Amino acid sequence: MSEGRVAGLAQQGVSHAGRAKASARRDTMAELSPVLVEEETDPVETERARIRRERFERNWAWLEKHAADVYRHRGKIIAIAGQKLFVGDTTDEVLARAKAAYPEDDGLFTRIIPRERGPRIYAY
């Protein structure tokens, strides 16, 4: 797919979103620039991204395996790095500890564990 075609789709997508919602939302939409899509052609970057994702998936698999232990930290921020759990009250604090312990793990991630369980409606 050519870049022009993709960019065209981007423009089309944004304009459709604008039409789909009531005018009350129009200002919010307008204050952000349109999202542009670009196909990545650099094989080195693509390969690096693939490796990072693999590490991320390894950490995620660890989380799923230890879900009961991880998700009991209600209202906290967690990070998983090097397939280890880090818990704290702020993202900055948790990230700092996780990065210090596993500086080479670029597949680390953080998560917010909501205080409450139960059905959630995501609509922003």
Q: Quick one: tokens of 72?
A: 């009991």
Residue 78: φ, ψ to 5°: -120, 155
Note the residues at the interface with another protein (CB under 8 A). Answer: 1, 6, 9-10, 12-14, 16-17, 20-21, 25, 27-29, 31-40, 45-46, 49-50, 52-53, 56, 60, 64, 67, 70-71, 77, 90-92, 95, 106-115, 117-124
If one counts every other C-beta atom within 10 angstroms of the C-beta of residue 98, the result is 24
Query: Coil, strand or helix: which one is 108?
Result: coil
The distance of closest approach from Cβ of residue 44 to another protein in the complex, given in angstroms and rounded to an integer, is 12
Give the nearer residue to another protein in terms of CB position, either 102 or 108.
108
Other CB atoms within 10 Å distance of the CB of residue 86: 22
Residue 93 C-beta: closest distance to another protein, Å: 10
